[in-house]
Chains A and B, each alone.
Chain A
Amino acid sequence: MNLFLQQLVNGLSIGSIYALMAVGYSLVYSIMNFSNFAHGSVIMLGAYFGYYAMTLLGLPFLGGAVAAALGSAGVAIILERLAYKPLRDRRAPFLYFIITAMGASMFIDNSVIATIGPTPKMYPNVFGQGPISIGHIDIGRVDLAMFIISAVALVALILFIDHTKLGKAIQATAYNMKASALMGISPSFVIILVFGIGGGLAGIAGILYGMKYQVFPQIGAITLKSFIAAVFGGLGSLPGALLGALLLGILETFVSGYLSSQYRDLIAFTLLIAMLVIRPSGIMGKNAEDKA
């Protein structure tokens, strides 16, 4: 029972990070209908922004998180303006968006390798030493921070989407871009907003992930997991992305806890294919047809 609860806690904490990543990715998908494969690079840059804000500028953790969120949001918006907007203006097929995203990801990752270098960097320890024990369950301090900060960010996002005018604009554009443009909602503005929010969440995910492990140019690869989570939940659906991410996190820790960590990723990818075959629209997705 203790092992079970311990795994559940670990699963929730890693799942909450997946959720931060998956939500940003899903948000962009819901508006643009393409998979932003550069999302991982934005997360990686967020981890570096946070690291340098905390070590070079000596900011406290919250300052680092804000720097990471703002920096990543800026990068995401610049990326949209420089790389995706020309394609949008040309009404290019989604294939070109995906290829451009891959190119952007390659460019950002390798720019970091070429300039900063591939050596992993350690965040300063700001949360203190030793796990927090509740009964027989140990919770790592970073894990607890991951869970709390992710939960706060995600609740704030849901409130924003459901209860503000800007949030309604995002919903309307996701539902039908042309019709909402006719109602006076600028698609360009919504797209910038969505990239900004997605980038900001990616930055927070980056700094948290970097604190749990280390910061190195390849940490963006972890977003593969958030793609899986988003597909599980249903591409383009925010509650779906959340649910998928938590389920995936819990599943992974249970597989590594009870079976073997070697099979963790294999099972995740196999489930991905199985889900796509059986129910491509995911747990909460609307439909899997091409909207175009």
Chain B
Amino acid sequence: MEYILGIFELSAINLVAVLGLSILTGFTGLFSFGHAGFMAIGAYVGGILTKNLHYPFWVAIIAAGLSAGLVSIVIGRLTLKLKGDYFCIATMGFGEAVRLIFSNMNYVNGARGLADIPQFKGASLAIPFVVAVIAIVVAWNLVNSRQGRNMVAVREEELAAQMAGINVLGSKMVAMIASAVLAGVAGALMANFIGFIAPKSFNMTKSTELTIIVIFGGLGSISGSVIGAFLLTALPELLRAFSDWRLVFYGLAVIVIMVGRPQGLLGGSELTPSGIRKMLADRKAKAAFARAKAGGRES
């Protein structure tokens, strides 16, 4: 029972980070290779506050989100003007730099990592779920606001968005800060759930795993990210016996999704009553279009 609860806790924590990345990658079209860096900042801030300074969990979580957000403002100002690959490589450099800074910091034990961080237990085990629900509500409201529509416009066609009077850099900045705050919060949750953090837990593979979950769920879909986070956190646990092959399967799945079904599980649609109606209507229209096309060829 405790084991199953643990899987759900981890899924909820991953979900918070994935939602952040979903806003940045799925809705704004910016691909970050350094998101584990923001998680690391959150995890270390949360770990130090609860372990060394004995603050309560919620203070640590809020502080972790804020500090990751602050760092993201600086990083955003530096990198958001870069295009395409340059942005990816810059964020990759940021993520690795953060990891290496923590590995060289003696205050947090360097590469050996920070152990004996106070852990959630009893009632406080509910914290990750509460935070996850809050994160879903925040992300949902953000992407359905005016700001969120601006982000989608920037993702679809930056130049056109700019012509329509959208502050492109500002929209990207909002997405960056929101995603960094969520990643920081997820980092603090991770530190307080597991009780141990080390710089190597926040390497590029972690960033890639988060991105894969977003893609699997579908770019531009909050409900897709939610389902993706739970499925892809639980799946490896169920497939423990094949642990070596898990990442082989992940890699293959990414290629297959990108080549065969680039929209992922639920790309661009949402699992809400109106979203489902829209999906069904789209499918019907597509089928009708295909029929009309086939009919046209016959005549």
Which residues from chain A sit less than 8 Å from chain B, CB to CB? 29, 33-35, 82-83, 86-87, 90, 92, 94-96, 98-100, 102-111, 113-114, 224, 227-228, 231, 235, 262-263, 265-266, 269-270, 272-273, 276-277, 280, 288-290, 292
Residue numbers in A under 8 Å from B86 (CB-CB): 231, 235, 276, 280, 288
Q: How far is the CA of A287 from the CA of B54 in the complex (A)?
A: 51
Which listed residue, B79, B85, B100, B104, touches A98 by the CB 8 Å rule? B85
User: In the complex, which residues 62-112 of chain B have their Cβ closer than 8 Å to any Cβ of chain A?
Assistant: 78-79, 82-86, 88-90, 92-94, 96-97, 100-101, 103-104
Which listed residue, A33, A100, A114, touches B248 by the CB 8 Å rule? A114
Which listed residue, B93, B101, B246, B258, touches A103 by the CB 8 Å rule? B258
Q: What does DSSP make chain B's interface, helix, strand, loop or mixed?
A: helix
Q: How far is the CA of A282 from the CA of B83 in the complex (A)?
A: 14
A235 and B85 contact, CB distance less than 8 A: yes
Q: Which of A87, A96, A98, A103 has the most CB of B within 10 A?
A: A103
Q: Which of B79, B96, B104, B255 has the most CB of A within 10 A?
A: B255
A114 and B245 contact, CB distance less than 8 A: yes
B147 at the interface (CB under 8 A from A): no
Q: How far is the CA of A29 from the CA of B254 in the complex (A)?
A: 21
B251 and A103 contact, CB distance less than 8 A: yes
B37 CB, nearest partner CB in chain A, Å: 11
A277 and B78 contact, CB distance less than 8 A: yes
Which listed residue, B78, B103, B252, B258, touches A87 by the CB 8 Å rule? B258
Which residues from chain B sit less than 8 Å from chain A, CB to CB? 29, 31, 78-79, 82-86, 88-90, 92-94, 96-97, 100-101, 103-104, 204, 208, 211-212, 215, 244-248, 250-255, 258-259, 262
Which listed residue, A95, A100, A269, A280, touches B82 by the CB 8 Å rule? A280
Q: Given the known A-B contacts A263-B104, A266-B104, are A111 and B248 also in contact in the complex, defined by CB atoms under 8 Å? A: yes
Besides the known contacts A263-B104, A288-B86, 4 further A-B residue pairs in the complex with CB atoms under 8 A apart: A94-B85, A273-B93, A280-B86, A288-B82
Q: Which of B84, B100, B252, B262 has the most CB of A within 10 A?
A: B84
A102 and B208 contact, CB distance less than 8 A: yes
B248 and A288 contact, CB distance less than 8 A: no
Residue numbers in A under 8 Å from B31 (CB-CB): 95, 98-99
A266 and B100 contact, CB distance less than 8 A: yes
B89 and A272 contact, CB distance less than 8 A: yes
B96 and A35 contact, CB distance less than 8 A: no
A105 and B251 contact, CB distance less than 8 A: yes
B258 and A277 contact, CB distance less than 8 A: no
Residue numbers in A under 8 Å from B92 (CB-CB): 224, 227
Q: How far is the CA of A111 from the CA of B244 in the complex (A)?
A: 8
Which listed residue, A99, A224, A262, A288, touches B254 by the CB 8 Å rule? A99
Residue numbers in A under 8 Å from B93 (CB-CB): 228, 269-270, 272-273, 276
Which listed residue, B83, B101, B244, touches A110 by the CB 8 Å rule? B244
B79 and A276 contact, CB distance less than 8 A: yes
Which listed residue, B204, B247, B258, touches A96 by the CB 8 Å rule? B258
Q: How far is the CA of A192 from the CA of B172 in the complex (A)?
A: 36
B212 and A103 contact, CB distance less than 8 A: yes
B94 and A102 contact, CB distance less than 8 A: no
Residue numbers in A under 8 Å from B78 (CB-CB): 273, 276-277
Enumerate 15 A-B pairs (CB-CB under 8 Å) in ascending A order.
A35-B88, A35-B89, A100-B259, A103-B251, A106-B208, A107-B248, A110-B244, A110-B245, A114-B244, A224-B204, A227-B92, A269-B100, A270-B97, A273-B78, A290-B83
A96 and B262 contact, CB distance less than 8 A: yes
Q: How far is the CA of A113 from the CA of B249 in the complex (A)?
A: 13
Q: How far is the CA of A99 from the CA of B259 in the complex (A)?
A: 11
A103 CB, nearest partner CB in chain B, Å: 3
Residue numbers in A under 8 Å from B208 (CB-CB): 102, 106
B244 and A273 contact, CB distance less than 8 A: no
Q: Which of B85, B96, B204, B262 has the most CB of A within 10 A?
A: B85
B264 CB, nearest partner CB in chain A, Å: 11
B90 and A273 contact, CB distance less than 8 A: yes
B88 and A92 contact, CB distance less than 8 A: no
A87 CB, nearest partner CB in chain B, Å: 7
Residue numbers in B under 8 Å from A92 (CB-CB): 258, 262
Q: How far is the CA of A263 from the CA of B83 in the complex (A)?
A: 29
A150 CB, nearest partner CB in chain B, Å: 23
Residue numbers in A under 8 Å from B89 (CB-CB): 35, 227, 231, 272, 276
Residue numbers in A under 8 Å from B215 (CB-CB): 99
Which listed residue, B94, B96, B244, B255, touches A107 by the CB 8 Å rule? B255
B258 and A100 contact, CB distance less than 8 A: yes
Residue numbers in B under 8 Å from A29 (CB-CB): 85
Q: Which of chain A's residues has its CB closest to B101's CB?
A: A266
